[in-house]
Structure formats: C-alpha cells, structure tokens
Amino acid sequence: MSAITRDEVAHLARLSRLALADEELDHFAAQLDQIVGAVARVAEVAADDIPPSSHALPLTNVFRPDEVRPSLTPQQALSGAPAVEDDRFRVPRILGEEA
C-alpha cells in the first residue's frame, strides 16, 4: 500500500510551511512512504484497552506561583530580529485575518 503520495507530501509541506521544489517532493514522497509503511506497525499492538502515554513519567500538578519576574529589555528581545521598526518586530505583510 502506498501510504503517502506526492500530492500528500505537497499538502504536508504547505501545512509545515516548507516551500519544496518539485524534485524534493518526489524524493520525500518515496522516503516518507517507506518510513510510514514501517512505522505503521505500531497499530498491531495498540489495543483499545491500553492507555496512551503522552509523557515519559506520570507527574501531575506542576505549577508556578503567580509572581512577576524580570522581562527582557526591548533591545534584548529584538536583538535577533531580522527586521525591527518602532521597537516592534517588522514582518512581511500578513495575508489571513487569522488562522
């Protein structure tokens, strides 16, 4: 069974914000198909009565007291920014209203 088609890789690339070239799509489609085919084995043993583990250890209730700690200065905050204007991060025009 071919799990991942070229179109699907193109869709994944869009979702992942990766502008891939056509030849990359082909290459990744073949590799991802192989990998997905191999890792799909997990379903063999994933019975309904087994609880999933999202964490390595069963810790719960780790909280922080509501206390203010020092922030960065704007200079520090903006130090790595590709572009800055008026102490704000300057970014290219945004298309959507929001996601």
Partner 1 sequence: MSLIHRTAAELGRLIATGEASAVEVAQAHLDRIAEVEPKVHAFLHVDPDAVLAQARAVDGRRAAGEPLGPLAGVPIAHKDVFTTADMPTTAGSKILEGWRPPYDATVTRRLREAGLVILGKTNLDEFAMGSSTENSAYGPTHNPWDLTRIPGGSSGGASASVAAYEAPLSTGTDTGGSIRQPAAVTGIVGMKPTYGGSSRYGLIAFASSLDTPGPFARNVLDAALLHEAFSGHDPMDSTSIAQPVPPVVEAARQASVEGLRVGVVKEFGGDGYQPGVLARFQEAVDLLESLGAKVVEVSCPSFAYALPAYYLIAPSECSSNLARFDAMRYGLRVGDDGTRSAEEVMALTRAAGFGPEVKRRIMLGTYALSSGYYDAYYGSAQKVRTLISRDFDAAFHQVDVLVSPTTPTTAFPIGERADDPMAMYLADLCTIPSNLAGNAAISVPCGLADEDGLPVGLQIMAPVLGDDRCYRVGAAVEKAFEDRWGGPLLKEAPAL
Partner 2 sequence: MTETLMPYDEALAQFEPVLGLETHVELGTASKMFCGCPTTFGAPPNTHVCPVCLALPGSLPTANETAIESTIRIGLALNCSIAGWCRFARKNYFYPDMPKNYQISQYDEPLCFDGYLDVEVDGKTVRIEIERVHLEEDTGKSTHVGGATGRIQGADYSIVDYNRAGIPLVEIVTKPIPGTDRLAPEVARAYATELREVMRSLGVSDVRMEEGSMRCDVNVSLMPRGSSEWGTRTETKNVNSLRSVERSVRSEIERQAAILADGGRIIQETRHFHEDTGLTTSGRSKEEAQDYRYFPEPDLVPIEPDPAWVARLKAELPELPSVRRRRLQAEWGVSDLDMAAMHNADAFGLVEATVAAGAPAADARKWWMGELARRANEAGTSLAELPITPAQIARVTELVASGALNDKLARQVLEGVLAGEGSPDDVVAARGLQIVNDDGELSTIIDQVIAANTDAADKIRGGKIAAVGALVGGVMKASRGKADAGRARQLILDKLGVTE
71 touches partner 1 by CB under 8 A: no
- Cα–Cα distance list, 17 to 13, 14, 40 (Å): 6, 5, 25
41 touches partner 2 by CB under 8 A: no
Report helix, strand or coil for 80. coil
Among 23, 48, 65, 82, binds partner 2 (CB under 8 A): 65
* 27/6 Cα distance (integer angstroms): 9
> Which are the contacts of 26, defined by CB distance < 8 A and separation ≥ 6?
6
Q: Closer to partner 2 at the Cβ: 49 or 92?
A: 92
Total of chain residues touching partner 2, rule CB under 8 A: 40
Query: Pattern 1-40, binding to partner 1, x per CB under 8 A?
Result: ---x---xx--xxxxxxxxxx--x---x--xx-xxx-xxx
